[in-house]
Amino acid sequence: MSKIKEAFKNGKAFIPFITCGDPDIETTYNVVLEAVKNGADLIELGIPFSDPTAEGPVIQGANIRALAGGITTDKVFELVKRLRKEVTIPLVFMTYANVVFSYGSDKFIKTCSEIGIDGLIIPDIPYEEKEEFEPYCEKYDVDLISMVAPTSEDRVTMIAKEAKGFIYVVSSMGVTGVRSSFANDISSVTAKIREVTDVPCAIGFGISNPEQAANMSKIADGVIVGSAIIKILAEKGKDAPSYVGAFVKKMKDAII
């Protein structure tokens, strides 16, 4: 069984997204520990990239700050090694194809496996091009996470049948960022997924408060929150860990 499935075995999963190196590696380390302590079931770690096309201004800002602070892929790998001495829940990377290509796909995914990364999300690689990375993921037992969006309804079944780890359901079209409304047909997307696979699905993009999290958890197996957490980091900086922990607890409590 994929280790990622463990995140969904005790009810609905809460999945925070954290950009590594924003504002610095030490803060990222402490934020992850606080998130775990307060109920996070799986954590998405963002490897910064200079042109994060799926991200809105909040997470773009985190990428810019992290890169300006000297973050590198190797420094992120070292962070994960350190985290794995304390953290047992599943960890996945979210990054862009160019980050993996430039490092060397085989070397990157092999290192993921060696340091304890359970999955990989690459938002700028469509389903049709996943063969660029899937053979390496299978070779090193790292789940390549599939993404589906409200507009991919005709493709949902096809994508879900081959999905590994969990399925990332994009709540609405566009980039990441806090939202007040979501696509009306998300429940039909999750229903289609459940017709063909028992791989869990989690909804992300724009969820920022307990009410939204509770509503999304009714139609999915998990809830992903990024921009709302990155906003806390942007505001609190190195003092952010305890604030992020309190936020994670509030969101986790809402979806149990």
pLDDT digits (tens, 9 = 90+) for 84-129: 999 999 999 999 999 999 999 999 999 999 999 999 999 999 899 9
Q: What is residue 226's DSSP assignment?
A: -
Per DSSP, the three-state class of 181 is: coil
* Contact assessment for residue 57 and residue 112, using Cβ atoms and an 8 Å cutoff: no
Strands 143-144 and 43-46: unpaired
What proportion of the chain, given as a percentage, has pLDDT over 90? 81
User: What average pLDDT score do residues 39-43 get?
Assistant: 98
What average pLDDT is seen over the chain?
92
Q: Is the bond preceding 48 in cis, omega lying within 30 degrees of 0? A: no
User: What average pLDDT score do residues 69-91 get?
Assistant: 98
* Contact assessment for residue 33 and residue 241, using Cβ atoms and an 8 Å cutoff: yes
Task: State yes or no: pLDDT of 69 exceeds 90.
Answer: yes
Task: State yes or no: pLDDT of 7 exceeds 90.
Answer: yes
Task: State yes or no: pLDDT of 181 exceeds 60.
Answer: no
Task: State yes or no: pLDDT of 54 exceeds 80.
Answer: no
| pLDDT score, position 178 | 47
Cα 238 to Cα 62, 81, 107: the distances in Å are 13, 21, 32
Give the residues across from 203 on adjacent strands. 169, 223
User: What average pLDDT score do residues 189-199 get?
Assistant: 94
> What structural domains does the chain harbor?
12-145+204-250 (3.20.20.70)
The region that residue 32 occupies, defined by phi over 0 for left and psi between -120 and 50 for alpha, beta otherwise, is alpha
pLDDT tens digits, one per residue of 133-170: 999 999 999 999 999 987 766 789 999 999 999 999 99
pLDDT tens digits, one per residue of 213-250: 999 999 999 999 999 999 999 999 999 999 999 999 99
* Longest Cα separation, the chain: 46
